Structure 1
Amino acid sequence: MKQSKASKRLAMSLVPALLLFTTGCTRNMIVLDPKGPIAEQQRDLMAISLALCCVVIVPVLIMTAVIVWRYRDRKGRKATYTPEWEHSTKLEVVWWGIPIVVILILGVITVQATYALEPSRPLESDQKPLTVQVTSLNWKWLFQYPEQGIATVNELRIPQGVPIKFEITADSPMNSFWIPQLGGQMYAMSGMAMTLYLQADEQGMYWGSGANFTGTHFADMYFDVKSTSREEFDRWVDEIKSSSPALTLDGYKRLSEPSVSQKQFFSSFPEGLFEMSVTKYAASHNHGLSWEKAKRFELEETTSGQ
């Protein structure tokens, strides 16, 4: 059976909509299920921005469909034929005025959110922030807890309701540190230490990953984030201290080599390891310890301890 021109046009107009609604809908939208104050504010910002954009987009889509249908080529068409029409002040005000107002509102909201969600801005809380030093390696994540003196690979554990101060760097190609349910991304770059404050308001297991392409095993650069009570977190720290080996400079050097790693736990790590990673590629400019100096420092400490 032959299709009419109108039905063909209608089918073609539905293709983009079908693609929009069938692409990626099977995935769990964890970005829209926040578990912390930063992620909640970011979700609200996305929702407000989407609603404002729909003020322009939805009427345009509806008018497009109406115009295509009303002025389609068919016999007995009753639409008014006005070949001399060229201007309408009322219509010009509508289709220029509304978008301009929307853009102004979006601009004000975006500026306010930019300052309110500044990544390095400490979170308001009666709890003391917990510092976690994050190092992006090929293809794994190293987490150092300077206050607790422990380190982990591909597992991050944090206490519920406590602000977490992440200090982020890379000892490998640039990556992006991301825990979708707690907040947005923060780039990890060699030679720099970026600061990001996040907080988990609920206990549970969350998903974290690298969000920047870094080569062959980029897809394996994910890690578990577990939010627990403070008491459980302290027990976890004590367990690692009593049952895990120490991370040495030689161990870190092996860890930094390109490879995929399972979860690892270390009862201690060399003092200043994070700072050494940050300044590793700037050592020739006297901005930090070179690898050889750091190694010699560790040997001196070991000798003095004996």
Structure 2
Amino acid sequence: MAARIARCFMLLPLVTMLAGCDWVVLRPAGDIALQQRDLIVVSTILMLLIVLPVMALTGIFAWRYRQSNREATYDPEWHHSTQLELVIWSAPLLIIIALGAVTWIATHTLDPYRKLSRLDAARPLPAEVRPLKVQVVALDWKWLFIYPDYGIASVNEMAAPVDVPIAFQITASSVMNSFFVPALAGQIYAMPGMETQLHAVINKAGDYEGFSANYSGHGFSHMRFRFAGMDGAAFDAWVAKVRASEGTLSREEYLRLEQPSERQPVRHYGASTAGLFDAIVNLCVDPTKMCMRDMMAIDARGGLGKAGIYNVAHLAYDRSRSRLDRSQDEAYVLSLCSIAPETMASPAPDAPQYGSVR
């Protein structure tokens, strides 16, 4: 027994190592993350209202009715107590009702697709403030951020002005990832061929960490990026710095960038091709490929008819299962519109400037 106690005391110094931990989930810098923190705290307290009494009573009953306690009442025929049943069932039922109500409200209030209505608990969102649009692409194994209003992009670095709503559009290039900045908001999945959204705001200037919260392969552990919350003037200076970069995020450059790589340094692109994010979502950055939206439009109109049957019937991997007659040498030609060439994006003349935002 003494040896066990000694081992416990030897482990106590390890607890001091936790002093270096940053409890960012419980001390976030964004209003959405703060509301999610409050939901976690409230839910935990409500559940502890049952857990703690049960744990305490387990110890009390074990001690009171131990075999050596001759003073405890011994009643082997006891089987029911209405008062005890009321307590046992009513308390958990009330807690479940409270948890259900809190969860239902939070599910709608914190819907990531819902636009913000406030900057924080004390300040509603001013009508004149325009959201900052950021298009996020999860690559293998790095993050690409496109700012469509400014015609710029960056790799593994993102900046946003304080107290300005951020409207994220999120997708992935190959496999599912999860976009997560704990100080800003909860994680949102990034999936290829799909677009997810997130509306959030950062309320304190500082450097924060973002990463992928969903395992996505060999380089997953290094798939991290810097999220910088800045005042309006500092953000405008950051935009000017990125614009001064020589790199251009064209379709060809994106196809090179999406190739798997690890530990990528921060990279800036002073110009970005218009419509690139839409092409990424529709899996047609390569101009020789048909966009997914065009395929779905053809399917919605009934498919390709005879031409489609012929093309599918001649797929090599379907030969063993096909029951169609291939003895005829017929071919069908289908004419499809090609992708129009796109010009290099230039910053929108009415792109918002955040130097005067308060």
3-state SS in 1 of match to 2:134: strand
AA aligned opposite 2:74 = Y
Secondary structure at the residue paired with 1:184?
A: strand
SS for the counterpart of 1:136 is strand
Say whether the 8 Å CA contact 2:283–2:292 is kept in structure 1.
no
Write out per-residue CA displacement over residues 4-52 of structure 1, whole angstroms, 9 at most, x where no aligned residue: xxxx9xx9xxx9xx9xx97x95632210011111011111111111111
Unaligned runs of 5+ in 2: 118-124, 296-337, 345-358
Aligned to 2:64: 70
Ranges of 4+ aligned residues in structure 1 off by more than 2 Å: 24-28, 71-74, 281-286
Relative to 1, partners in 2 of residues 1:87 and 1:226: Cα closer, same or farther, differing over 3 Å? Answer: same
CA deviation string 1:237-258 (max 9, x = no partner): 1121123311222211111011
**Aligned mates of 1:43, 1:224 — CA distance in 2:** 22
- 1:103 aligned to 2:96? yes
> 1:268: how far off?
1.0
Code of the residue aligned with 2:196 in structure 1: it is: M
SS at match of 1:118: coil
Q: Which runs of 5+ in 1 are unaligned?
A: none
| Residue 179 (structure 2) aligns with | 177
The equivalences for 1:12-161 within 5 A come to 27-74=21-68, 76-124=69-117, 125-126=125-126, 127-161=129-163
Name which one, 1 or 2, has greater alpha-carbon Rg.
Answer: 2
Deviation per CA, 1:200-222, whole angstroms, max 9, x where unpaired?
01111111110000011111111
Contact 1:145 1:151 in 2 (8 A): yes
3-state DSSP class of the match of 1:121? coil
Indicate how the Cα distance of structure 1 residues 83 and 64 shifts in structure 2: closer, same or farther if over 3 A, else same.
Answer: same
CA deviation after TM superposition for structure 1 residue 66, in Å = 0.9
Q: Which amino acid aligns with 1:65?
A: G
Measured at CA, do residues 94 and 138 of structure 1 come closer, stay the same or move farther in structure 2, by a change above 3 Å?
same
In the alignment, does 2:195 pair up with 1:193?
Answer: yes
1:280 is displaced (CA, Å) by: 0.2
SS at match of 1:225: strand
Asked if the contact 2:184/2:201 (under 8 Å) is kept, the reply is yes
CA contact (8 A) 2:176 2:214 kept: yes
CA distance in 1, matches of 2:241, 2:291: 40
Q: Does 2:204 correspond to 1:202?
A: yes
Q: Which amino acid aligns with 1:45?
A: L
Deviation of 1:281 (Å): 6.9
Aligned counterparts of 1:222 and 1:147: Cα–Cα separation in 2: 24
- Distance in structure 2 (CA, Å) of the matches to 1:280 and 1:288: 11
- 8 Å CA contact 2:152–2:269 kept in 1: the answer is yes
Contact 1:136 1:142 in 2 (8 A): yes
Equivalent pair of 1:276/1:288 in contact (CA under 8 Å):
no
- Between Structure 1 and Structure 2, the one with more helix by share is 1
Confirm or deny: 8 A CA contact 2:140 2:261 kept in the other structure.
yes
* Residue 279, structure 1, aligned to residue 282, structure 2: yes
User: Which amino acid is the alignment partner of residue 287 of structure 1?
Assistant: R
Q: Equivalents in 1 of 2:294, 2:145: separation in Å?
A: 21
Relative to structure 1, is the Cα distance of residues 156 and 2 closer, same or farther in structure 2, using a 3 angstrom cutoff? closer
The TM-score, its normalising length taken from structure 1, stands at 0.85
Deviation of the 1:284 alpha carbon = 4.8
Check the 8 A contact 2:245/2:268 in 1, yes or no. no
Structure 1 residue 220 corresponds to structure 2 residue 227: no
SS of 1:287 mapped into structure 2: helix
CA distance in 2, matches of 1:280, 1:148: 23
The verdict on how the C-alpha distance between 1:44 and 1:95 changes in structure 2, with shifts beyond 3 A counting, is same
* Correspondence 1:266 to 2:269: yes
Query: Aligned with 1:56: secondary structure?
Result: helix
Partner-residue secondary structure (3-state), 1:237:
helix
Letter aligned with residue 270 of structure 1:
T
Q: Secondary structure at the match of 2:22?
A: coil
1:252 matched to which residue of 2?
254
- How many residues in Structure 1 have an aligned counterpart in Structure 2? 281
Q: Secondary structure of the equivalent of 2:72?
A: coil
Contact 1:191-1:281 within 8 A present in 2 as well:
no
Q: What TM-score does the superposition give when structure 2 sets the normalisation length?
A: 0.73
Q: Aligned partners of 1:194 and 1:229: how far apart in 2?
A: 27
